Amino acid sequence: MTISAKATPQTLGDSIVAHPLDPLTAEEIAKASAILKMERRLGPRVRFETVVLRESEKAEVNGFRAGDAVRREAFLVVLDNDEAATYEAVVALDTGQVVSWKHVPGVQPRVMFDEFVECEAAVRADSRFQEAIKKRGITDPSLVMVDPWSAGNFGFDDEEGKRLVLCRNFARSSPNDNGYARPIEGVTAVVDLNSMEVIRVDDYGLVPLPPDDGNYAAEFVDKFRDDLKPLDITQPDGPSFRVDGWSVEWQKWHLRVGFTPREGLVIHTVGYEDQGRVRPVLYRAALSDMVVPYGDPGKDHYRKNAFDAGEYGIGSLTNSLTLGCDCLGEIYYFDAALNTGNGEAFTIPNAVCMHEEDYGILWKHTDWRIGKTEVRRSRRLVISSVATVGNYEYGFFWYFYQDGTIQMEIKLTGIINTAAVEEGEIPKYGTIVAPQLNAHIHQHFFNFRMDMCVDGDNNSVYEVNTVAAPPGPDNPHNNAFYAEKTLLSTEHEAQRVVDPMSGRYWVVSNASTPNALGQPVSYKLMPGENILPFAHPEASIIKRAGFMTKHLWVTPYQRDEISATGPYPNQHPGGAGLPEYTKDNRNVENTDVVVWYTLGYHHVPCPEDWPISPVAYCGFSLKPVGFFDTNPVLDVPPNDQCDPSCHG
Ligand SMILES: [Cu+2]
């Protein structure tokens, strides 16, 4: 593990590159695109889906020392709209050369932001669409909100090979309206994104617009509650973390922050300082993909599911965060440099927020015999970003605790997706959340890829279940129960689901560096709330998002196995990603393992979700179990503000 806090920075363009894992700078993005445009003579009909850092081989990263020359390569994906063809390229930024150029047949890159904008304009201008909305009393198409949905893959011959989106539409009386309050039920425009033409407008029949406007913005609230007193978070001496470029040190933690347009926030090279060295835990962690399958079988609602990372690029949809609103206190922000559709760079200022939070008590004990209490306060480092994907907001919060715990918490908010129903209709596959407004039942599945390195690369994964001992001579009082550890030695053995009733968790262990008690040093993956998909195994979405069917997957590290859904989930027929990676049932014992955790959040909507959902939470933790020899936070000092009487 390399920590580059004292690296001598290298200048590339106007920005500083100090480490091989630093995300591409805006200058590097523009340069990579310019090189590719020139070398491959790319015309104006070519869109840039991806311009990202091609991360160096792990050995090169681990061997990197501060001040070493940093080799930089960009990975690009472009779509030629005229040829309907996708190409991958690698550009060496140091030499200015295209080092690889490859046509990738039969795939669709994700839907790009520029395409959203152009697509909305094309739908509004289409005469068949204007006719369909006129039937519903809507005369101004410029006020219609057009939401392009990825088309999925349902094996329809006329869709084969076409780059399609399904546009679902909503009526507004002003641009400030809640766009999701009045679905134009039953009208779907199907758009070919290569030609940017509306190829048809489906009309499933008239349903009236729901009556209420569902407005929630401050200007629509008549009276705010008036009993909130100020709550200020101040750190007069500043925060306790140190930042150098993308490198962060805080309370024995060493890590790097990264960012990509597809995954959003990435955490690299996480280690914890212990016994005079930085002990590695995680080489790389990020959301690998996610999908939101909906449960309504009617009209074209059965096609509603969105791979928000793989199909839309959740990183490129990240919010620019605001101090005092999104984040309170002493905040450090990272900006994200990303590519536009024409390969230029743009920056999302304040894309990643980092700060410290008081997190209640860390540990405590009162010895009543001597009237003495020892208590310490817990603090956590929070590194987060929030993305807006159509109607929904997703916050991704990585927490680092002083005791070695790492936690991922997802915050789900925003506006639920809606459909209109006839007055008095009680829908089976949804909930009425406002008059004539139906919110369909759905699920949010996330998969996090965690390239583990618990005290080094030679790791093994075990499942731990707690077992009740059977009655008998060993258990004469019938009280016995114990934790049973089972090695998961192959990819197929390591495809597992949660079992809260057995207290199930999984541990990633390194037997080559036992702790002082002789136990293999380990981290456990502690699941939180979880669920499995309800779609039938034959459903298109189960084939396309096979990762949902297991909560745990383990693979041996392969540089290009990055996404649970494979590199091109958009309109993919299925089978890619984890099901394909694990086909050969490779060994995952005592090797460099990647742990993939699937997390399902089940959403049966309720009226309180409307017109905007208060944050719902879900997540998981990585906790040290025998990684340390003892409680690692005995050295956290008592709080300055602690009343002396507390200590007896
Ligand atoms: Cu939901």
pLDDT in tens, 328-344: 999 999 999 999 999 99
User: Phi, psi (5° rounding) for residue 467?
Assistant: -120, 140
Q: Clarify whether 308 is annotated catalytic.
A: yes
Q: Which residue has the tokens 């500083």?
A: 16
- The answer to whether the pTM exceeds 0.85 is yes
pLDDT 10s digits, 107-166: 999 999 999 999 999 999 999 999 999 999 999 999 999 999 999 999 999 999 999 999
**Rounded distance between C-alpha atoms, residue 595 and residue 257, angstroms:** 19
Ligand 1 centroid to residue 443 C-alpha, Å: 6
Ligand 1 centroid to residue 617 C-alpha, Å: 11
Ligand 1 centroid to residue 440 C-alpha, Å: 9
Burial, 596: exposed, middle or buried (Cβ in 10 Å; 0-12, 13-18, 19+)? buried
Q: Is 114 helix (H, G, I), strand (E, B) or coil?
A: helix
Ligand 1 centroid to residue 424 C-alpha, Å: 24
CA quadruple 577, 581, 584, 585: dihedral sign: negative
**Which DSSP string do the residues of 559-616 spell out, in sequence order?**
TT---TT-S--TT--S--SHHHHTTT--B-SSB-EEEEEEEEEEE---GGGSSSEEEE
Predicted confidence at residue 647, as pLDDT, reads 63
Ligand 1 centroid to residue 235 C-alpha, Å: 36
Ligand 1 centroid to residue 393 C-alpha, Å: 10
* DSSP collapsed to 3 states, 4-35: CCCCCCEEECCEEECCCCCCCCHHHHHHHHHH
Predicted confidence at residue 12, as pLDDT, reads 42
pLDDT < 50: residue spans in the chain: 1-14
Ligand 1 centroid to residue 613 C-alpha, Å: 9
Ligand 1 centroid to residue 305 C-alpha, Å: 11
Of the candidates 312, 392, 462, 557, the residue annotated as catalytic is 392
Q: Is 402 helix (H, G, I), strand (E, B) or coil?
A: coil
Query: First CA to last CA across the chain, in angstroms?
Result: 44
Ligand 1 centroid to residue 621 C-alpha, Å: 22
Q: Which helix (H) or strand (E) holds 434?
A: strand 430-434
- The CA radius of gyration of the chain, in Å to the nearest whole number, is 26
Ligand 1 centroid to residue 11 C-alpha, Å: 44
Tokens matching residue 456: 């080094």
Predicted confidence at residue 642, as pLDDT, reads 81
Ligand 1 centroid to residue 136 C-alpha, Å: 28
Of the candidates 177, 308, 403, 451, the residue annotated as catalytic is 308
Q: Is 115 helix (H, G, I), strand (E, B) or coil?
A: helix
Predicted confidence at residue 359, as pLDDT, reads 98
**Rounded distance between C-alpha atoms, residue 602 and residue 536, angstroms:** 16
Ligand 1 centroid to residue 441 C-alpha, Å: 8
Q: Which residues contact 399 (CB under 8 A, 6 or more apart)?
A: 380, 381, 382, 405, 406, 407, 408, 409
**Rounded distance between C-alpha atoms, residue 88 and residue 92, angstroms:** 14
**Rounded distance between C-alpha atoms, residue 562 and residue 551, angstroms:** 17
Ligand 1 centroid to residue 444 C-alpha, Å: 6
Ligand 1 centroid to residue 263 C-alpha, Å: 20
Predicted confidence at residue 10, as pLDDT, reads 44
User: Phi, psi (5° rounding) for residue 608?
Assistant: -65, -15
Q: Which residue has the tokens 């160096």?
A: 56
Q: Are 120 and 148 in contact (CB under 8 A)?
A: yes
Ligand 1 centroid to residue 297 C-alpha, Å: 17
Predicted confidence at residue 85, as pLDDT, reads 98
Ligand 1 centroid to residue 646 C-alpha, Å: 45
**Rounded distance between C-alpha atoms, residue 153 and residue 541, angstroms:** 9
Q: Is the peptide bond before 611 cis (omega within 30 degrees of 0)?
A: yes
Q: Clarify whether 232 is annotated catalytic.
A: no
Amino acid at 413: T
Ligand 1 centroid to residue 137 C-alpha, Å: 30
